Amino acid sequence: CGVFGVSGVADAANFVALGLHALQHRGQEAGGIVAYHPDHGFTSARRFGYVRDNFTKQSLMETLPGALAIGHVRYSTAGSKGTSQIRDVQPFFGEFSMGGAAIAHNGNIVNADALRRELIGAGSIFQSASDSECIIHLMARSLQRRVPERMQDALRRVEGAFSIVAMTRTKLIGVRDPLGVRPLVLGRLGDGYALASETCALDICGAEFLREIEPGEMVVIEDGEIASHRPFAPRKPRFCIFEHVYFSRPDSILGGRSVYETRRDIGVELAREAPVDADLVCPVPDSGTPAAIGFSQESGIPYGMGIIRNQYMGRTFIEPTEQIRNMGVRLKLNVNRALIRGKRVVLVDDSVVRGTTSIKIREMILDAGAKEVHFRIASPPTAWPCFYGVDTPEREKLLAASMSEDEMCQHLGVDSLRFISLDGLYRAVGEADGRDAKSPQYCDACFSGDYPVTPSDRIEQGFQM
C-alpha cells in the first residue's frame, strides 16, 4: 500500500490526490482521502479503482476542504484477503474523547487475529476485515488523553510492519515500526509539510525531500513545528530488501540510494555471478528494466526491447472468462519479433514467484524464433511468503519452495536460469561485505525464511517457519 499526508497547505486533499497518484504502483485496488477543515469538520471519500479516475473530479475534491489531509492506496495483502469491500478501504477514522483521528497504514500486522479476538471480547465493534483497524480500537481503549500518546499505546501492542500517516484536527502524524520494514519520508511543501511512502510522491507535488522517518520514530507536526518521539524499545532496523528490487518506484530514493541505481547494480552483480554467451539482453518490462541495463553494461551484450508492454494494462486487470485468462501475459506483453529472431536472448526479470509469467514469456520468445533463452533474475529464489505487506502466494504455490534452481530451469524449459545470490543482492543495495548472517541488515524473509518478526497469527493457522 501507499500512504501520503499533507499539513499547512490550502486544499491539502488536492496534493494528497497527486501524491497517491505517484504511489499508485503500491496499490491499484482502491484509494481514500480524509481531510479536515475547521468549518466542515472531518470529511472523507473512499473509492475503488485508480486515483486518476476518482480523485480528479472537481465535484468530489470540493467535498474534501482544508489544509490538513491524508490518503491511502490499497492492495490487499495477507492480513486482508477475501472479497474487497469499500469498508476495508482506508483511511480509518475513530472518534475519541478529545476529538477524532484518521489513520492510513502501509504494512501488515502479524498478530491482528489475536488482537481482534481480544478487542471484540472487550466490546469493540469492528467495521472491516482489515488488520489495520485494530489500531483504531486499541487507541480507543487507551487511557491516554491525547491522540499521539493513544497511538503510542496502541502501536506498542502491535507486531509486524507499519508505516503510518495519521491526522487529528490539528496534527499530522507519521510513524514507522521499530524495524522500519516499510518506507516513510518527510518533505517540505510550501509553508507546510508532507509525509509519503516514497520520494516520488514528494516530487510530483513539488515538495522538497527533507529526510526519512527513522525506524521506531514518531513525528508529530503541528503549527509548522515538528516534534520527534521514540515510543518503542530500540532494535536494529530491518528494511524490506524487496522494496529495492521491485516494490518501490525506480525514481525514488531509499536509504540515500536511488532505486534505479540499485537495480542497475543488481544487473551488474548478476552479470558477474552468472555470465552467459548471448546476442541480446532484454528486460521483462517494466520491473526488470534497470537490472537488464546493468547486465548489458557489465557483460557488453547489447540491450534491446525484445518485449513490449501494453501501457494501458494495469496490474490488476480482471480477466473475465477462462478463454481470456488463458491468454495470460499476452494481454500485457508482446514479443518484438524483428529483434528476437535468430538470437540467443538473455531475459532479465525481477522475480520468479509461481513461474507462470516466465513460462509464457519463454513460449513467446521461442515462437518468435529465438535460438536460445536464458533467464537472469534480479532477486534470489522466492521460497517463503511475505507477512509484512507484500502479496505473495502461500508457500505451496512458490516454485522455489519445492524446486532447486536446476529443477526450476527444467520446469520453465529455458536454456539456463540463474538468480542473484543473497550476498550479491546485499552488495547491490550498498552493503560492500554482503549479508551479515548473524544480524542481517535487511528483512529478506521471502528469500531466506529468516522472519524478523514471528508471524504469530500464521503459525496459529499451521504455518511452519
Question: Three cell numbers at 361?
Answer: 514469456
Residue 392 contacts Mg ion per CB under 5 A: no
Question: Three cell numbers at 30?
Answer: 482502491
Residue 240 contacts ligand SF4 per CB under 6 A: yes
CB of 77 to ligand 5GP, least distance (A): 9
Which position among 162, 388, 419, 426 is part of the footprint of ligand SF4 (CB under 6 A)?
Answer: 388
- The pair phi, psi for residue 437, each rounded to 5°, is -65, -30
- The pair phi, psi for residue 45, each rounded to 5°, is -145, 135
Binding partner of residue 354 among ligand 5GP, ligand SF4, Mg ion, none, CB cut-off 5 to 8 Å per kind: ligand 5GP
Q: Is 134 among the annotated ligand-binding positions?
A: no
303 or 388: CB nearest ligand SF4: 388
Cis, bond preceding 286 (omega within 30 deg of 0): yes
**Residue list 285-314, contact with Mg ion (CB under 5 A):** 287
Q: Is 351 among the annotated ligand-binding positions?
A: no
Residue 390 contacts ligand SF4 per CB under 6 A: yes
CB 231 within 8 A of CB 217: no
**Helix, strand, coil percentages, rounded to 5, for the chain:** 35, 25, 40
Question: Three cell numbers at 39?
Answer: 468549518
Residue 446 contacts ligand SF4 per CB under 6 A: yes
**Residue list 1-40, contact with ligand 5GP (CB under 6 A):** none
Q: Which region, judged by CB under 5 A, interacts with Mg ion, from 52-60, 284-292, 314-322, 450-458? A: 284-292
CB of 289 to Mg ion, least distance (A): 10
Q: Which residues are catalytic?
A: 1
Q: Which region, judged by CB under 6 A, interacts with ligand SF4, from 74-82, 204-212, 265-273, 438-446? A: 438-446
CB of 303 to ligand 5GP, least distance (A): 18
Residue 353 contacts ligand SF4 per CB under 6 A: no
Sign of CA dihedral 24, 388, 90, 15: negative
* DSSP assignment of 333-396: EEE-HHHHTT-EEEEEES--SSSHHHHHHHHHHHHTT-SEEEEEESS----S---SS-----GG
CB of 442 to ligand SF4, least distance (A): 7
CB under 8 Å to 255, separation ≥6 — which residues? 212, 239, 429, 430
Which position among 273, 391, 405, 450 is part of the footprint of ligand 5GP (CB under 6 A)?
Answer: 391
304 or 385: CB nearest ligand SF4: 385
224: left (phi over 0), alpha (psi -120 to 50) or beta: left
Binding partner of residue 428 among ligand 5GP, Mg ion, ligand SF4, none, CB cut-off 5 to 8 Å per kind: none
Give the integer Cα–Cα distance in Å for 208 and 419: 37
3-state SS assignment for residue 304: coil
Give the integer Cα–Cα distance in Å for 305 and 24: 25
Q: Is 88 among the annotated ligand-binding positions?
A: no
Taking CA atoms, 141 is separated from 123, 150, 189, 218, 360, in Å, by 10, 8, 34, 20, 52
CB 177 within 8 A of CB 215: yes
Q: Is 349 among the annotated ligand-binding positions?
A: yes
Give the integer Cα–Cα distance in Å for 69 and 194: 10
139 or 400: CB nearest ligand SF4: 400
11 or 29: CB nearest ligand 5GP: 29
CB of 294 to ligand 5GP, least distance (A): 17
**Residue list 283-342, contact with ligand SF4 (CB under 6 A):** none
Which position among 50, 75, 242, 295 is part of the footprint of ligand SF4 (CB under 6 A)?
Answer: 242
Residue 287 contacts ligand 5GP per CB under 6 A: yes
CB 440 within 8 A of CB 239: no
CB of 287 to Mg ion, least distance (A): 4
Binding residues for Mg(2+): 287, 349-350
Residues at the contact surface with Mg ion, assessed by CB under 5 A: 287
Residues at the contact surface with ligand 5GP, assessed by CB under 6 A: 246, 284, 287, 315, 349-358, 390-391
Residues at the contact surface with ligand SF4, assessed by CB under 6 A: 181, 240-242, 386, 388, 390, 443-446
